[in-house]
């Protein structure tokens, strides 16, 4: 999720699809095998909201959080003009998840 204002950057949660199914299943009260891709999009979006809200509370204010953007991709996503400032490996059950805070290095362009 993007954060703008007193600090500019992103909070990114990276994990394998199967790892995203477990917390999603817990949120919606079903077995992980019953989780559909749309459920994963909603579940991981909610987890991103929770994590990003906590990160935002530690940043320079005022800062605003954009809506979550969940991507299911076998290759991953990159952010040009941004550098990682924190990478936190955590476990969701038996699955590794990376929570990354990435700061924008872009400067505002004159309009």
Q: Is the pLDDT of residue 18 over 80?
A: yes
pTM above 0.85, yes or no: no
pLDDT in tens, 31-40: 989 999 999 9
* Mean per-residue pLDDT over the chain, rounded: 87
What is the predicted pLDDT for the residue at 109? 53
- Tell me the three state secondary structure of residue 99: strand
pLDDT in tens, 60-105: 889 999 888 888 777 777 778 899 999 999 988 888 889 999 999 9
Q: Is the pLDDT of residue 108 over 60?
A: no
What is the predicted pLDDT for the residue at 89? 95
Q: What are phi and psi of 75, to 5 degrees?
A: -110, -15
Closest CA to 100 of 6, 9, 4: 9
Closest CA to 37 of 67, 1, 73: 73
């Amino acid at each position: 999720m993007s954060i703008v204002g007193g600090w500019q950057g992103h909070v990114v949660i990276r994990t394998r699809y199967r790892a995203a199914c477990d917390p999603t299943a817990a949120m919606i009260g079903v077995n992980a095998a019953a989780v559909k891709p749309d459920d994963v999009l909603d579940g991981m979006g909610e987890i991103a909201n929770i994590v990003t809200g906590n990160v935002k509370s530690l940043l320079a204010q005022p800062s605003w959080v954009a809506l979550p953007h969940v991507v299911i991709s076998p290759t991953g996503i990159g952010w040009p003009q941004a550098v990682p400032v924190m990478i936190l490996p955590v476990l969701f059950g038996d699955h590794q998840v990376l929570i990354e805070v990435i700061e924008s290095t872009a400067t505002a362009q004159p309009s």
